[in-house]
Structure 1
Amino acid sequence: MTLSQDTSRFAVEVRNARVSGNLDAPEGGFDAIMQAIVCDQIGWRKLARRLLVFSTDASFHYAGDGKLGGIVKPNDGLCHMDSKGEYTHSTLQDYPSVAQINSKVKEMSINMIFAVTAEQIDIYKRLSQAIQGAHCGTLSSNSSNVVELVKEQYQKITSSVVLKDTATGETVAFTVKLEITECPKNRAEWQQTFSIYRVGIDESMTVDLTMLCECPCEVPGNPGFGEKSPLCNTKGTAKCGICECAESFFGRKCECDASSGSRSDDDRGCKMDNSTDIICSSRGTCVCGQCECQTRDDPNEKIDGTYCECDNFSCERENGELCSGEHGRCECGKCVCVPGWSGSACQCATDVGTCIEPGKSDVCSGKGRCECGRCVCDETETERYSGRFCQKCPTCKGRCEEYKDCVQCKVHKTGQYREEEDCERICRNSPPIEEVDVVNNEENDEHYCLFTDEDDNCRFYFVYGYDTVGSPYIKAQKTKDCPPEPPVFWIVAGVVGAIVIIGLLFLLLWKLLTHIHDRAEYARFEKERMSAKWDTGENPIYKQATSTFKNPMYSGK
């Protein structure tokens, strides 16, 4: 339903709302948030503060989860509600991404409050950090504290004004300083009331200003006011601790009588404070409670001051000249510079022209201060600016990621928005893209970006910068840097050839070892044969036959 004060109808709509279940824990709350932001049926007023409260006890679905259900078309960030106020594209396009929600929140100036249960508070706190102007609070299990939670978070939103720029997303704090140059003659104007307000929002801050144009101790009746005060030797009026002497009397405590010429021996009026015994800073004499300072040989050099504490010759010098000569004068030991010069010795010109980059208008690129004609760059924990004009920041987070998808789809027709209608819709507000042959990463005022295309593993390059009026522009390289196609034939041929050659080498090695072994065995055989003791023409086991003769008639006698 549209925004309305009809609470009864709201209660009926909530009671009649269809309750459905889902198979997984995360919920499709991003769809509802997107429709509540972009649909005119909600009835947002132009100058009103737009507050969106999202209450849940579960985590959220985001871009890419729709693929689990076969939905691959990205969310277009447009309104798709029918006449009954129901979302019609839940099955036609994917959930919105966190970046899309953040973009729409910034575009429509929405303040979001996440009222979630304790189990989900951590994830929604991280989500609120990624969405500009979002706040997060813990909702009780029965939602009984929802009103107090919204009040508390709304107070946080309205109690501070946060301004952001489109360059780095830094938080910028503004301090208003009021300076009263003089008090109005009309006492009625010492009390004034005025307002400070932000353009576009019907809210303002009222300032009640009271000017302190006189001290209470200067008014009769105040304890600090006393006529013929003993503090002033009854010869004057004490006002705020200072004596205003009667006619013919002078001195810090009216101790001197000009008519009689009498003088007091009290030298306390010639001491700067009670902690010192030094009279007139050791550069003068005490006369009737007042210091008379010494004179210098050089008539241009003078010692002055209530206690002779000042002079015009002890200031800093630059190139041997006091206060850089004509650039300033010495007053009480410090240089007072003429317009156009500054510094302890008036050695620095206040002209910031040398701190402005040619073609630009910001002093030190808005990231530093000009001191003595040179830029002193800002440094934080995450950002360190450098360069002659503080134009460089190696540690700063650039906008490469922001421009990546548009460069990819417009120049190379690839990426998640490769469809022409998707590319034109998503990138309609992107900076103009100029296609060049080669991008140069050496320009001081341009930021170099390099990414790998997931479609073909090729690298694409672009740079972005800002023109003289501060508008961003992009220069993209026409061609991508792709790795060469691998020579498959030669790789296979090389592998096969290597296998054959290695096999032949093994065979040759085996043959060589076998030949060496055979030669060694043959040599050993030859050696044993030559060392044999018998003739090769005789049979070594042959024995001569023996003849035995026996007389059978012989009887041994």
Structure 2
Amino acid sequence: MVALSMVLVFLLALSGGESELEAKISSPEKGTEWGDPDLSLPGSCQPAPTCQKCILSHPSCAWCKQLNFTASGKAEEQRCGQRQELLARGCPPGELEEPHGRQEVLQDQPLSQGDRGEGATQLAPQQVRVTLRPGEPQQLRVRFLRAEGYPVDLYYLMDLSYSMKDDLERVRQLGQDLLVGLQKVTHSVRIGFGSFVDKTVLPFVSTVPSKLLHPCPTRLERCQPPFSFHHVLSLTSDAKAFEREVGRQSVSGNLDSPEGGFDAILQAALCQEQIGWRNVSRLLVFTSDDTFHTAGDGKLGGIFMPSDGHCHLDSNGVYSRSPEFDYPSVGQVAQALSAANIQPIFAVTSATLPVYQELSKLIPKSAVGELSEDSSNVVQLIMDAYNSLSSTVTLEHSPLPPGVHVSYESQCGDPEKTEHKAGDRGQCNQVRINQTVNFLVTLRATHCLSEPHLLRFRALGFSEELTVELHTLCDCNCSDTQPQAPHCSNGQGLLQCGVCRDCAECGAFGTGPLATNCSIACASTNVTLALVPILDDGWCKERTLDNQLFFFLVEEEARGRVILRVRPQERGANHTLAIVLGCMGGIVAVGLGLVLAYRLSVEIYDRQEYNRFEKERQQLNWKQGSNPLYRSAITTTVNPHFQGAESPFL
């Protein structure tokens, strides 16, 4: 049993390996995936029957299209090999088909500072067409110039829970100082304002009617009803408008410590038209003295529907559907900020600083600063964070199509000191104004793309983009294509890349290059299937596109028509499955046989024992008088008077 099981496992493994190999060979439409090609590795380029399959088999493969390069009767797959190998075998260099990837720059405006930051060109080139041969990398150089005075939009998002009461007093005089500070680094700056508290459901906010109207501890304090997020002021360059609108605000209150800041961040990123974001550097300053609710916390208030990722501000700028949707996750917030190209600055108190520092690690191009108890240092904190963010240049790309990979090398300073950044982005830190940095972007495809793909690169925090029009090179472009070529069965075939694909394949099997117009291209050819033995060397040998070998014989008629007798090769039957099933059936049969034999032997033994018992029982003839196991019941009665009558005293 053990031996049979081991044989079965071996056969199953063999069958799986053969099936996998057959799938790789017989499915040319599915892309093949390579590692980095090692052109020095012998045998890395394997023979292939067509030029297309040849160049897709390995990036080091070339194809010789010279007529009669292969000897009569030899397989055309010998045309596929490495360049040096084919040249050594006598293929002229001009007859080699060895396509390579290429790139074409479509738009490359020179880097420039613009007019005081306006109209600057910081990213070049702007548009490139790249054609990739699968397995062969293409390297693209991207340049970035940090311009002076690049425009800035800053949205101030403030926690208005009751504990931020003293901070609000400080922020009311913040507008002018903030504009003056930012105008030192840019000539075009706008600021806006929004606030948040929490969802207006239990257990986050008291739903007692009086508390919903006035959630502050005492009635004497100025307080507004709780809310999730309120967009107060769209981005403007008017500092007085900022101070005026902030001056109208008052604190509110909630029950638990975490706040609904994630709802506010998500809506500020999604509602771009309402906020008024320009296509410039976008900063979102988030101030709070506590932590945040995240996805799943809404279930405490009976909210089970996940955040839908859409803008839901009403005409008053309030997030009206907050009680319907759960808090967003960290991933949703990070994705929304990245998609909107917004750089968040978390200005938080010392007690919650570690939490936001960990959060910042999950959000690209973000900064964290420690806020004083009354927000008195908020302007300097914003300036320091802005300088840190603007001096960090991070190049990233849009989502990749299947089978395409990107890696980066960052040249941040001295060209001699190149920092290799493998992964989904390149980065240079502490980039000075007017400094140019370079990124070497390596593109590699492992599969063929069904259609061109637009791949976008951008520097986070900046508005410009590089658009790469991505194509894959998955076929040969031989210049010798000739229908009804004299070289192919006296004009009855299509010559392509030095190989005939004649009417035999399309007429007999309905496949091949002529399959779509076989009746027209092969009008003067009569194709018949002939399941007869091959008796001489007059038969031609060819392979179909799915790599199946067949034979055909060319015969001419008096009226100029050609008769092609096609004999398909009988495919060798794959007996692996039959062997495996046979072994499994044998094991089951042997097992059943052993069980039946055991049950039969037990049954025979039981019947013999029973018959012996019955026979012995019938032979038993016990007599009641002598049977020691059988005695009649005896009752003895003693009469005391009778014994007394026999007494001598009577």
Q: From the CA coordinates, give the structure whose radius of gyration is larger.
A: 1
* Interval containing the TM-score (normalised by the shorter chain): 0.3 to 0.5
* TM-score of the pair, normalised by structure 2: 0.28
TM-score using structure 1 length: 0.32
